[in-house]
Structures are given as C-alpha cells and as structure tokens.
Amino acid sequence: MNLHSNIAVSSKPALQAVRFETTAIGVATGTVFILGTHPLGTEPFAIVAAGNTTIQLHSNCKCVDESPLKIVPYRPSAAASASILGFLDNVAEKELPMPDWSHLESPPSQAVRAFATTIKHLLAAKNLYPDRIVPSADGEISYYFFVEEDDSQCSHHRRFASITCAEDDTLVLLVADRSQDFSEATEFSMQPESMDAALDTLTKFIEPCRAL
Amino acid sequence: MSRPVEPNIPADEDLYRGLLPEWIDGDVVLPEAIDIRGTSVNRHKYKSDPRDAMNVARGRTRVASVCARDFPQPLIVESGPTYQFQAFDLPDETNDAHAEIRPIRLGIGWNPNHTIASRNKALLKKALADKMRPLL
C-alpha cells in the first residue's frame, strides 16, 4: 500500500469534518500506521490501516472508530513532519514491537536482534519504512518493502525488496520481480559506508514506484 | 522408536510446510519461510492431511506444499558451487512424517558444516519459496 506522504480522509460523515494532517509512517507486520496531529489542537492520534479497505482511528492508542479508507495526496510541512515523526518514535516503541519469535525453532540471536535494531533506525533515518518485519525460519530478520505499480487489491505483490540482517553480520539486499522471474541478492558488510550503499540501493529500487 | 529411514522420497510426494503468517504474502510464500539448514516438512505418505503441518501453538497457521519434482533447477552461484535441493527422510519419535528439504552441492552432497554465502542463501531461499503452493 502506497501511503507515504498522503493524507487519509475518512468517508464517514462524522469523521470527514476532521482534516487530518498526516503522513504515512511506521509500518510493521503488515499494518500501516498513519500518525497525525488534530488541526483543532487536540492530542495526536494514530490511524491504523488494516488491509486496503478499512481504517481504525485511534486516539491515544485507543480504538474509537472504523471507516473505509480514502487517500488523497498531501505533503505535510516540515514542522508537522517533525512532530509526527517524534510521535511515531514514541508510539512505535510502544505499539510496534518487533515480531514475537519466541515460538520459532531458531529465534534470532541477540547479535542479530541488535543488528536489526541498528538497521531499523538507519532505515527510519532515511524515511524508509518497511511493510513487514519478518523473522526467518533460520534465525535472521528481514525488512520487506512491497512495491506496486498501483494500489489495486491484488492478492500478492509482484515486486519486492527485502533487506536481511544475517547471522554472519552481513546485510543482504534481495530485489525481486516475480512477474519476470527475476531476483538478485547483494551482500553488504556492517561498515557504515557499506550499509549506506545498501540503503541507497534500496531507495533507488522503491522510490520511483512509490512516488505519487 | 521411530520407523526406519527411507533412502529416497518419491518425486511426486507432497511435502507440507507449516507457515507463520509473516512468511506468506497473499498467495505467495516468502523466502523467510525457508530454513537454509533444513526446512522441516511433513511427508504426505505418513501424514496425508496438510492440516497436520499446522501448529497453532507455535504460530504456524498456514500450510504450503511442494514436491521434489518441483524443486528449483540447480542454482549456479557466482564464484561458488552449484546448489540444488534434496528432500531427506528424517522421522523422529514425535513425528513419523518428518523430512527436511536441504540445499546440497552438486557432486558433494549434504554437509551441515558447509557455510553458504549470505547472498546465495537469499537466492536459494527465494528459489525454493517460489515453488511452494499455499494450501491452507
């Protein structure tokens, strides 16, 4: 779902009166969080987009309503973005925990988890928010970025990129296009310049497809 | 005591893999569902109901299947050996149907101590995941 730098407007009459200054941010485990500030000066709220068709409106993280989701282009001001991003950091820590991997046969090691946390922050610093964080069967952690040419209700994503924190302290960028049976994996080291190169490559892959 | 190990698993026998919800995107199995050290599956011959591969307590709420006939073609990786997948019959006392799908090096076979480069692991995992068909 392509929601970045959008405004979400509810189709419910009671909610249409509220103009949400929002940006699409924190995304984890298949749920898209849109966080914003209420223009009337009330407290920040979060909208949780569950799937492509409905949203849940949260205020102070308590679900207060649901309605169909409608998206129109919007780019928030720098101040609003900063405020929202600050709020995201706060909420993300509380509401977007890493997946529960305690039941896995090979849960990620402490080293991989620490590595994944580093990458998570580097991604956020570059405004890259994954669609899904996936602990793998063999004890690694991947951040998925699904890429769509449109927002149609397809049942799977033809193109994706994943960035994986591997057990041997390497970062693996996998880009794939299922429709063309294409996949390519590139390995990066933990050196800062190498990780930067990985994230730059990731950005180049997903940005053109996510631009409004 | 578990049953004797069979040296070969028929190429057309369905192998069922229990999946976490995070390991599947719509109707496509993600590479994260594959354990490169050996992906555990249930053999149809000993547990014909795919639902037996589910384990809700361990988060496995979906099931996909694959058979050896559909395993990926041998994968020639950059500056490395050629890999292909092979199913190994590994019954244990708790699961007579247990088997594992492992990547082996052509001409060498399975070696648990062999380290596969991370970029090749990613390609191998995706190649096998792409062959898995969600059933439930």
- Contacting B residues, span 10-49, partner chain A, CB-CB under 8 Å: 20-23, 25-28, 30-37, 39-40
pLDDT for position A75: 38
pLDDT for position B123: 95
**Tally of CB atoms within 10 A around A201:** 15
Q: Which two tokens stand for residue A19?
A: 């103009």
Last residue of a domain, one of A95, A124, A145: A95
pLDDT for position B136: 86
Query: Is B65 in CB contact (< 8 Å) with chain A?
Result: no
Q: Which residues of A touch B83 (CB under 8 A)?
A: none
Q: Return the number of CB contacts < 8 Å for A and B.
A: 93
pLDDT for position B20: 92
**What SS3 class is residue B75?**
strand
Query: Which has the higher per-residue pLDDT, B80 or A16?
Result: B80
Contact B35 A157 (CB under 8 A): no
Total number of domains constituting chain A: 2
pLDDT for position A207: 76
Q: Are residues A124 and A188 in the same domain?
A: yes
pLDDT for position A159: 84
- Contacting B residues, span 72-91, partner chain A, CB-CB under 8 Å: none
pLDDT for position A103: 75
pLDDT for position A70: 39
pLDDT for position A147: 80
Instruction: Grade residue A152 by pLDDT with cuts at 50, 70 and 90.
Output: low
Q: Are residues A195 and A147 in the same domain?
A: yes
ipTM > 0.95 for the complex: no
Nearest to B119 among A144, A154, A172 (CB): A172
pLDDT for position A35: 46
Q: Are residues A49 and A120 in the same domain?
A: no
Contact B120 A136 (CB under 8 A): no
Q: Is residue A100 part of a domain?
A: no
Q: Express each pLDDT in A9-34 by its tens digit.
A: 333 322 322 333 343 333 333 344 44
Task: Suggest the residue from B34, B37, B118 to mutate for an interface test with chain A (most A CBs closer than 10 A).
Answer: B118
Q: Express each pLDDT in A48-104 by its tens digit.
A: 443 343 444 444 333 444 444 433 333 344 444 454 445 445 544 444 446 677 777
Question: Which neighbouring-strand residues pair with B89?
Answer: B99
Q: Find how far residue A133's CA is from the centre of its chain.
A: 9
Residue of B nearest to A132 (CA): B22
Give residue A157's domain range: 110-210
Contact A174 B31 (CB under 8 A): yes
Query: Which has the higher per-residue pLDDT, A113 or B124?
Result: B124
Q: Are residues A90 and A114 in the same domain?
A: no
pLDDT for position B57: 75
Contact B28 A157 (CB under 8 A): yes
Q: Are residues A118 and A204 in the same domain?
A: yes
Q: Is residue A105 part of a domain?
A: no
Q: Which residues of B touch A170 (CB under 8 A)?
A: 118
Among the ranges given (A9-23, A37-51, B64-78), the one the predictor scored with the smallest mean pLDDT: A9-23
Among the ranges given (A150-164, A170-184, B48-62), the one the predictor scored with the smallest mean pLDDT: A150-164
With a threshold of 0.90, does the pTM exceed it?
Answer: no
Nearest to B25 among A104, A106, A156 (CB): A156
Q: Hey, where are the domains in chain B?
A: 15-134
Is the model's pLDDT at A41 over the cut of 50? no
Q: What angle do CA A197, A200, A201 make, to 5 degrees?
A: 85
Q: Are residues A83 and A136 in the same domain?
A: no
